[in-house]
Structure 1
Amino acid sequence: MTGISIRSANIDDAQMIADFHVKVWRHTYQDLAPTEAYAVLNEQHRGKQWKEKLSANDNSQIVLIAEIDGRTVGIGAAGGSSESIFDGRGEIKFLYVDPDFKRRGIGRALLAQLAIHLRKMHYQAAALSVVKGNEPAMAFYEALNGRPAGEYIDPGPVWRSQNIVFVWDDVASLIS
């Protein structure tokens, strides 16, 4: 895709990322998430989370922002595994693309950069989780040769969603 740039996020991006995260999250999960999750997982809540994530001194984690003409059109994050079901694979923790910019290569570009980071951190394989029922995301990961490798319930305090784990046994397959 022409015109896309991807950069590392910093603490000054925290609230912008939170606002973007909430916007895309609400669009994506409008028919899947319970209404109480919408009330709690707002811009203020996400802002606090992203400030904590971006201020942590953890070189194993990366947060990326995809932009077109200065407009945020995607975010992604990766690092060490947060759940045992990932079986020691590097984890793609977040991948969100603005619905108005889908099918333009932004998700693929972010995934490739996240995979490069995971490889630098010596992960040979990658994994992520998708909320059950998020068919567009599952189709996207399957098109990139991700394979389902199990299910778990997210322990989140607000919405204990049922998730499907997708894996790539060779993280390099996401870099192209």
Structure 2
Amino acid sequence: MTHIREMSLDDCDRVAAIRIGGWRAAYRGLMPGPYLDALSVTEDARRHRARLTEGDGTALNLVAERSGEIVGWGCHGPYRGDTGTPGAELYALYVAPDHYGEGIGHALLTESVRRCAAAGHERMFLWVLKGNTGARRFYERSGFRADGAEEPFEAGGVEVPEVRYVRPLP
């Protein structure tokens, strides 16, 4: 059974390990290897702690637990793009690589969608690497559709294309 709850400061180290592990597993071949290898769990955990303690509260971090172990993390909040585009945005969704395919990402996404709809948002956006076909299929199965917007993400001096997805909220 997967339990979804809000992230605490005590969760930052595990969330950072999941995020960095997720980047290395999902983005190998899509981003420069030296860039991925240089990612630091310690530095990422520090950034998570800073965002939780110094942030304005608009971003909501959720963790997924199984048998008391954190196995996934997601973060959502107001859409950060064009201010004339109202809606929510899924900023991040990562599952520990050894727990892929267990429904954890789906549980996190479902809870983020539920909370954004309950907050009155009419749609939800997300950005995904264009070449990350597995993630794109996952989001498409969850009702998201590419809307034609693309932006480059800079990783280690290389521009990696991202595509924007959107779905209406219930």
Same-fold call, TM cutoff 0.5: yes
Give the TM-score taking structure 1 as reference length: 0.85
21 and 159 in structure 1: CA distance in 2 versus 1, 3 angstrom threshold: farther
1:152 to 2:151 alignment? yes
Residue aligning to 2:160: 161
Whichever residue aligns with residue 58 of structure 1, its letter is: D
Question: 1:40, 1:158 within 8 Å by CA — same for their partners in 2?
Answer: no
Residue aligning to 1:94: 92
Residue aligning to 2:135: 137
Residue aligning to 1:125: 123
- How much is the aligned-residue C-alpha RMSD, in angstroms? 2.2
159 and 72 in structure 1: CA distance in 2 versus 1, 3 angstrom threshold: farther
Trace 1:106-117 onto structure 2 (pairs within 5 A).
106-117=104-115
- The partner residue of 2:2 within 1, 4, 7 is 4
Q: Secondary structure in 2 aligned to 1:28?
A: helix
Structure 1 position 155, deviation (Å): 5.7
Q: Equivalent pairs: percent with the same residue? A: 27
85 and 129 in structure 1: CA distance in 2 versus 1, 3 angstrom threshold: farther
Residues matched between the structures, number: 169
Structure 1 position 23, deviation (Å): 1.1
Question: 1:74, 1:106 within 8 Å by CA — same for their partners in 2?
Answer: yes
1:83 to 2:98 alignment? no
Residue aligning to 1:14: 12
27 and 86 in structure 1: CA distance in 2 versus 1, 3 angstrom threshold: farther
Residue segments in structure 2 that go unaligned for 5+ positions in a row = none
The structure with the greater share of residues assigned to strand is 2
Structure 1 position 157, deviation (Å): 7.8
Give the TM-score taking structure 2 as reference length: 0.88
Q: Aligned partners of 1:59 and 1:134: how far apart in 2?
A: 30
Structure 1 position 81, deviation (Å): 1.6
Q: Aligned partners of 1:91 and 1:155: how far apart in 2?
A: 20
Residue segments in structure 1 that go unaligned for 5+ positions in a row = none
Structure 1 position 140, deviation (Å): 0.7
Q: Secondary structure in 1 aligned to 2:121?
A: coil
Where has structure 1 moved over 3 Å in runs of 4 or more? 155-160
Q: Secondary structure in 1 aligned to 2:114?
A: helix
51 and 159 in structure 1: CA distance in 2 versus 1, 3 angstrom threshold: farther
Structure 1 position 122, deviation (Å): 2.4
Q: Aligned partners of 1:28 and 1:8: how far apart in 2?
A: 24
